Structure 1
Amino acid sequence: MLAGQSQYHQLYSIDILGLRDHRLPSIAPTLHLPSTTNSTYKRTRQLSISSSLNHHQNPQTTSSSPTSDNEENFLRTHNAKSSVLLLRHLSPHQEGNSTPPSAHPESQGKLIPREDKAKLLKMSLIRKRTPQFPGSIYVQCPSGPDFNASLPPLQNLFEEQKGNLVITANDDDDEMLMKALEIRRGVTVEIFKEAMRKGKFGITYSTNLISKLSDFIDFVMIQVASMKQLPEFSTASYNFRARTFIDDSGVVPLIRWLKHNSLSYPQIAKLICMSRGNLNSIRRLAEWLKTIYVRGRYIGVALTRAGGNILECNSQDLDEIVGYLEDNGVRKDWMGYVVSRCPEILSFSMEELKGRVEFYLNMGMDEKDFGTMVFDFPKVLGYFPMEEMNQKVTFLKEFGLNDEEVGKLLAFKPQLMACSIEEKWKPLVKYFYYLGMSRDSMRRILCIKPMIFCVDLETIIVPKVQFLRDIGVQEEAIGNMIAKFPPLLTYSLNKKIRPVVVFLLTKAGVSQRDIGKVIALGPELLGCSIANKLDHNVKYFLSLGISLRKLGEMIADFPILLRYNVDLLRPKYQYLRRTMVRPLQDLIEFPRFFSYSLDERIIPRHRIMVEQRVNFKLRYMLGGTDEEFDQRVQAAVERRQRFESGVTFEEESSDSQTDVGSLTACSS
């Protein structure tokens, strides 16, 4: 129920008992009736009020005490005989006084049992009454001429009435009022459904929508009860007043318009309850959202999630918020996307919004980075409390990052702000320490692949680490693997990592003994596509005449071999075989040959070797720096010159020993 239930309780106790002259309480809410033409009220005045309303309001005039002579005319209505017998049995028998109970409301109320009170209350307040079976005491057919005359006045259902004040003597009267309240609520729901049916809404849709409009139904009941103080509706029934208020409020056309704009019925119901009767604010705000490119179902999302006070904001304040964001890098055509994903921005005051924007700009983030960050993850601006945002920035600085680095990190991955420190970051850091990682390694992971700090530890990271253990990766190497190639932890275990390992074992010739070594030395292989990269490279090497077993040994020696582009491998192989005239075995023994540049390393050093008439294995030819290569070439040239001069190694050794002996004798 609404918070104003007590207000309606007081209004309703007056409305239901028909106390016209009683002054409405001061707590009655202000009546928000839509503007209605005078012709409507003239039509209302001309409406003939049914006799039932007059009977309930003035029971003494309709239930005047007849004498025994005209008693038959008084009771000659529906089931007259049974009514006479019951009334005579219930009334006190006194000589010369055969007044029916309806003429004594003070005593009639005390004669009605509690169970019958509830039945009579329902019979008096329900909207549609059905004819009763023959023998009924009370007429329940509204078309009957003396329908209301057959029912006792509603005042008699309560303990005592003095003047125009209803005195509730015990909890029984409060219970009766609450029952009357529930009956009237059901009547209001039925009138609302009837208005929905007139608006061409289906029965199921109307029922589902109204079931979520309990607050608005209570609001309608309060307003309808307040309408009784207006002269135009002073003699109108509750049903007529409720129907008039619902029709004039325009709620049914508003529901049709919101449904046309792709709002679901829960969103429509929430908006109507949030409006607190000011239904025009819903249409006004929805039209404003369209001006900033909010479309479709996101209109309902923005209206319902922006906060309860959003319907009270004027367009000038909202335009100021949008203009401030545009000045700080959020493009106008992005605004609809940003507001759709984080409508809480619209509920901020300008002071709070400026504080949030400056929070990021003070970390060295420029307007361009700020705008793209907000577009990438709008919740980074308006969803989290400022205290929580400061705590997360402080935690990131503990890895050795300064303000500018944190700003760049958040601009690149603003989803970090959505991660919990206690639930995600601290358990992850503890687990990395368990794997042997240093804080510098964690800092590298955070900078290269910050998404790792956003994934779930138990369901994503731990199973992958366990899989690496199962295939033979050494425990101390797992931490280095992750630090070397952080994207490893973001790949799917069953769709990416496991299929690559199976391919290496079955199609690339890698043995079960070497697979752990291959993955540890080349974790980048786990990120390669099998169809577009690995399979293509394996087929190329096999086409060169390399056996599958030899290829597996080459991969175990140099795992990155499968990551190279075949278009880059082909010229190197051709130069090796045609120009250098080297056998294929040299390539099998030294697969790292493909890792060197053809123009900057292989060709220049090969030319030097040809010019100096020396020859090296591939590992000595390409390995080392240029200075080391020059020293090798110089030593090889000297050996070749000595060989050509006929000086053998033994003669050179003897000559050197003779020289050492003579030098020793001279010194002695």
Structure 2
Amino acid sequence: MASASATTLFSSNPMFPSDYHSLSPSPTIPKSFTGLCKPFHSRVPTSIPCFRCRRPKFFVTATVIKWRCPKQTIPPNSDTGFQKKLLYLESIGIDSFSLIENHPMLITTSLTDIKSTVEYITSMDFTATEFRRMVGMCPEILTTNVSDIIPVFTFLHDEVHVHCSDIKRVINRRPRLLVCSVSKRLRPTLYFLQSIGIEEVNKHTDLLSCSVEEKFMPRVDYFENIGFSRRDATLMFRRFPQLFCYSIKNNLEPKYSYFVVEMGRDLKELIEFPQYFSFSLENRIKPRHKKCVEMGLCFPLPVLLKTKEVKFQSRLEVFVNSSTPLKTSPLWCAGSDFYQV
């Protein structure tokens, strides 16, 4: 499906005029980047007429890379090819120096492979701006072979059941999917999510690039260690899969501690409403809880946190002169249903 839709988007016009015989043929630029290319370090224009005026004075050399990236080494006898590679990346608006600092494999990846990857992805209807953003989020894309990217598109369509019209949105949201192995990462993660009862994984595709052993299981184990059964912990993740993405130290621990110590509420509420962990502790949970304590009120978690600020304030005013059902009262649940957000 994906490979059939790919078409060549590279221009046939050379980047340098033919009289610069001392340099080997220069890389071409995908047509989708036309008009968006910025001058290379404001010294080398990308338009052909300007190139014909005179030979550019500034060329990237291994010395510059050595200065910017002292820990990186340049392959021997590859100065000209390396210059061409950096010129090509800069010509499509990518800061090659930053990429090399963060992803050294770019140094040894051939220009041909980089061009093939750029050509294939841009042929899949990704704009130049989208492609640059994707590379900024995941530099490994540039050093991933097309033969490894195609199976990802196929997997998303055939096994995760992502509609063709949604694949672009899925990749834009999580570019790292393109550099993940289908057999070693994507498929095992899909099977795990399905095994805990998450049926519509196509709505949570950003989780597919995560490691089950390194990311998912430690969070499940955390909830077990603080008093939840494996069944209840699994139920929480099934109801709110994004819970897998939250840091244990910076999110789960402080919010759970505040919930138990300061709020003194029942753990069953977290099982029913695990979205509690998605709200800001300082900007939403603490302020609203303190206001309720001051006024002697106790709202169900969804009402306490999901309600918009203006509506929440109006509810406080309504309840200030009326009695609120106790949590032990049958009306507590009725109140939860009555106050829809």
Q: Paired residue for 2:78, among 375, 382, 385?
A: 382
Aligned to 2:201: 515
Aligned to 2:237: 555
1:428 aligns with 2:121: yes
Structure-to-structure mapping, 1:153-172, within 5 angstroms: none
State TM-score, norm by structure 2.
0.63
| Displacement of 1:563 | 2.8
Aligned to 1:589: 272
Aligned to 2:98: 408
| Code of the aligned partner of 2:122 | V
Aligned to 1:464: 152
Q: Which 5+ residue runs of structure 1 have no aligned equivalent?
A: 1-354, 645-668
Q: Secondary structure at the match of 1:473?
A: coil
- 1:619/1:415 CA distance change after superposition, 3 Å: farther
| Code of the aligned partner of 1:505 | Q
| Code of the aligned partner of 2:168 | G
Identity rate, percent: 24
| Code of the aligned partner of 1:486 | P
Distance 1:477 1:498 in 2: 19
Structure-to-structure mapping, 1:208-219, within 5 angstroms: none
More helix by share: 1
Structure-to-structure mapping, 1:178-577, within 5 angstroms: 358-360=58-60, 370-373=66-69, 375-379=71-75, 382-385=78-81, 388-389=84-85, 392-393=88-89, 395-397=91-93, 405-409=95-99, 412-413=102-103, 414-415=106-107, 418-420=110-112, 423-431=116-124, 433=125, 437-458=126-147, 460-469=148-157, 470-506=159-195, 509-511=196-198, 513-518=199-204, 520=205, 523-524=206-207, 526-528=209-211, 530-542=212-224, 544-545=227-228, 548=231, 554-567=236-249, 568-577=251-260
- 1:447/1:545 CA distance change after superposition, 3 Å: closer
Aligned to 1:162: none
| Code of the aligned partner of 2:74 | P
Distance 1:527 1:464 in 2: 15
- 1:493/1:483 CA distance change after superposition, 3 Å: same
Deviations 1:558-596 (A, max 9, x none): 322123343442442343245424333432333221123
Aligned to 1:632: 311
- Does the 8 A contact of 2:117 with 2:145 survive in 1? yes
1:580 aligns with 2:263: yes
Q: Which 5+ residue runs of structure 2 have no aligned equivalent?
A: 1-54, 324-341
| Displacement of 1:607 | 0.7
Cα-Cα RMSD = 3.7
Deviations 1:475-517 (A, max 9, x none): 33322222222222222222222222222233xx124x32222
- Does the 8 A contact of 2:162 with 2:202 survive in 1? yes
Deviations 1:401-452 (A, max 9, x none): 5xxx454345545438722265442233213x1xxx3332211012222321
Aligned length: 263
Aligned to 2:297: 614
Deviations 1:590-637 (A, max 9, x none): 32211234344322321111112333332342346xxx52x3344224
Distance 1:557 1:476 in 2: 26
- 1:417/1:599 CA distance change after superposition, 3 Å: same
- 1:574/1:541 CA distance change after superposition, 3 Å: same
Deviations 1:213-247 (A, max 9, x none): xxxxxxxxxxxxxxxxxxxxxxxxxxxxxxxxxxx
- Does the 8 A contact of 1:360 with 1:407 survive in 2? no
Work out which of the two has the higher radius of gyration on C-alpha atoms and give 1 or 2: 1
Deviates more, 1:584-593 or 1:605-614: 584-593
- Does the 8 A contact of 1:491 with 1:527 survive in 2? no
- Does the 8 A contact of 1:537 with 1:566 survive in 2? yes
Structure showing greater relative contact order (alpha-carbon pairs closer than 8 Å, 6 or more residues apart): 2
- Does the 8 A contact of 1:374 with 1:381 survive in 2? no
Distance 2:107 2:288 in 1: 50
| Displacement of 1:384 | 3.6
- Does the 8 A contact of 1:554 with 1:591 survive in 2? yes
State TM-score, norm by structure 1.
0.35
Distance 1:532 1:386 in 2: 37
- Does the 8 A contact of 1:419 with 1:425 survive in 2? no
Distance 1:593 1:563 in 2: 14
- 1:376/1:415 CA distance change after superposition, 3 Å: same
| Code of the aligned partner of 2:123 | K
- Does the 8 A contact of 1:445 with 1:486 survive in 2? yes
